[in-house]
Every structure is written in C-alpha cells, then in structure tokens.
Amino acid sequence: MIYAAASLLVGLVLPRLEYRYLADYKHGMTVAAAIAVFSSVASGMLALTGIIFSLAFLMVQFSSVAYSPRLVLWFSRDPVISHGMGIFTSTFIFSLTVLAWVDRYGSGNVPLFSTWLVVLLVIASIRVLAILVQRLTILQVSGVIAFLGKHGRLAIGEIYPNMALPAVDEHVAKPRSEALSASLSVTQRVMHTGAPMVVADYDTKSLVKLASAADAVLIMPFGLGDTVFEGDTLIEVHGGRHAIAPATLRLAVQLEQQRIFEEDPKYAIRLLVDVAIKALSPAVNDPTTAVQALDQIEDLLRRLGTRHLDVGQVPDETGTLRVIFPTPTWDDFLSLAFDEIRFYGVNSLQVMRRLRVALCDLAGAVPRERQTALRHYLEHLDMNVHSSILDSADQRTAMQQDRQGLGLTRK
C-alpha cells in the first residue's frame, strides 16, 4: 500500500510539473511509440505480479508439506516478496499515470523525466524478479536447514554470554533469588486476557527500569515459547513502594500467535528436529536429511555448551535482582535436540551413528560439569540400539561413529 500510494502521488505530481515548468524537456519518442511502450509496461507488470503470487503459494505449500507447517509463516513473510509486489504495483500505476500525460492537450510531447523513471522502475522490477527466482533455492533441504541453523546461531550469540567472560553480576543476583519467596510478598499480578498467545520476548531493559523505579522484583512464570491462556498470570510484582501500571507491564511482554527465532534459540532447534523426524517418517524414509539436520543441531549445542545459560535472572545497575523468568537448562536443550530423533530413528543406521558422533564430539567440547548428561545420553543410545529390531551385525554397525551417518567410520 505504501508503494501504491507513493507511486500514485508521484504519478499525479511529476508529469504535471513537467508539463507546466519543463515543457522544453521532451523525449524523442513519437506519441504512438510512447503509448505502446507505457501500455506494454503496465500490462506486463500484471503478469509479473501473478508470478509473485505463484511463487508465494509454491513456497507456502511446499515448505508445509516437505518440512514443517511452522516454516510457512517465515517463507510467506519474506520481505523480498512484499517489496517485489510493491515495485511491480508502482511500475503498473506510474506507467498508467504517465500514459495520461502523453500528447496532453494535443501538445505532441512525451514527458522526459517521467519516461526515464518508468525505465528505472522496469529495471528494478527485473532485478527483483531475479532475486525472487534465487529465493527458490531456500526450498531445497540444504537451504532450509542452513536457514534454521543461521537463525539459531544469531539468537544464541545475542542472548547467551560466553563462559570465557564472567556472567553479568551473577554473584550478586543469585543469592537474592534464592531468598526471594521468603522475603517479598506478591503485591500485584498482571493477567493475560484474550485468545491463547505465545510468549515471544521479554523487554528486560524496560522491565528492569520499571522494577527499579518501584523497588520491586518482577517474576514471569512463563518462559519464551510458552503458550498463555485467558486468566494466566503474565507478571507477578513482588514488593515495591508503589503499583506499576498494568498496561505498561503488558507492553514489555511480546505476545505472538507463533514462536519466533529472535530471542528463542530453542525454536530453531525445534524446527530442525521437526525437519529430521518428518524425514524419518515411514512415508518419507530420508535419513540423510535427518543427518544433515543433526549437523546444524550439533553446531548449535556446541555453542550453547560453552555459554552461560542462566540468563533469566536480570539485575539492575546496582546488582540488585529485578527480573526473573524461566530459562532452559543444558539438559533441556539436550532433550529437545536428541530425544525425538533418537526415538524415531532408532532403526536407522545412519541416524544412530550420527547421533553417537554428535554426543562424543560434544563431550569433548563442553565443560566437565555438562558432560554427565552426555554420558547419560550415550548410555541411553546404547540401550535403544540393543532393544531395536536391528540384528547383531547391524547393532555393531550402529554402535560406530560416523559423521556422515554411513560412509566414513571412525573408531
């Protein structure tokens, strides 16, 4: 709509200014040629707009069936699609408006600057069309998996501090949180009203500022990705010198109909697991795709394994705890990443071998205190292999490590 309004405004103003003040600047085309060119451009833009819709529907349908219906929203909201539709619409509208000023009042003139603007819009439309064709590559399985891994890495780097650096005021915040329930009473509750929504993000900076101003502690019972229903408590205010406006607190909680990547790396792992287990379904039987998904999952877990995960306790500038919300532990991430793939891929040699090498490599990449959970998963993996339908020879094969799944055994 912005593109359409802008092109209509320019189309009404620019040719008029040219006719009134720049009449000496004329294009060399004849009136008949100009009419033919502008008419062709306008009608051609309608065809390109139809291609945009076709590509959008193709991306939505294919991604929903082949990978995960939760990927549909991101593919359909690709900004290139929106800008492409806008540029094509602008070219269509502006060409029509310029057409009205060709041979205006029998002058025999073709506006120069408006004609060149139409040419520039056509070039931009062709460029956008080329980008849209390139966008189809993201529908390939490797493109989808790389897309999910990229967003997961961005979220991890944004949220979790590296263990090589000290956690911000961690030694100050934790003791206060342990004694919080005994020292501060609940003075205010903010409830959710309306349809079920997903907690997409907490604006911790705003929440800390509000809590500091009231000398209170804010506790959110729900973590990122949780669904809240009518009557659920979004925020509890503990202590405080005065009440905080509920509307202000609600604005600091971002609720969406669907989870997002930006502040929730669990969701990237969740979608990678979805892609893997759909590939392992009897209707598809594509364990290689599951192995490719495990490549990205292992990379995300390696990054998580070397970072502080307890980011749900946020102090203010003085080190006083102000905001608390639940965050996943290392065990939670491991369970999310491996449990379903292990369950559905228990009879796949590729998946079992790739899972084993992922667990062994992770054990060598994370701190010692996080290796216990990995040893537990290796033991559980051995139990799954021995209780599977594989015969003894296949079980021995499944117990080996292979980063490719099948193709390069490692001792």
- In order along its 411 residues, the chain shows pLDDT tens digits of 999 999 999 988 888 888 777 767 777 678 888 888 888 888 888 887 887 777 767 766 766 666 666 666 666 667 877 888 889 889 999 998 888 888 777 677 778 888 889 999 999 988 988 887 777 666 677 878 888 899 899 999 989 998 776 544 443 444 444 445 445 788 899 999 999 999 999 999 999 999 999 989 999 999 999 999 999 999 999 988 888 999 999 999 999 888 887 778 899 999 999 999 998 988 888 899 999 999 999 999 999 999 999 899 999 888 889 999 999 999 999 999 999 999 999 998 999 999 999 999 999 899 999 999 999 989 999 998 988 888 889 888 888 888 888 888 776
Q: Which pLDDT belongs to residue 23?
A: 67
* Domain boundaries along the sequence of the chain: 2-139, 150-163+262-315+324-398, 170-256
Token pair of 166 as six digits: 């000290």
Closest CA to 98 of 4, 13, 5, 6: 13
Residues 232 and 274: beta-carbon distance below 8 Å = no
Instruction: Quote the CA–CA distance of 216 and 212 in Å, as a whole number.
Output: 6
Instruction: Quote the CA–CA distance of 45 and 93 in Å, as a whole number.
Output: 9
Q: Which pLDDT belongs to residue 293?
A: 94
Q: Which pLDDT belongs to residue 34?
A: 84
DSSP 8-class letter at 262: T
Q: Is 40 helix (H, G, I), strand (E, B) or coil?
A: helix
Q: Which pLDDT belongs to residue 175?
A: 42
- The pair phi, psi for residue 42, each rounded to 5°, is -60, -45
pTM: 0.76
Q: Which pLDDT belongs to residue 241?
A: 87
User: What dotted CATH number matches 170-256?
Assistant: 3.90.1170.30
DSSP 8-class letter at 116: H
Q: Which helix (H) or strand (E) holds 123?
A: helix 112-135
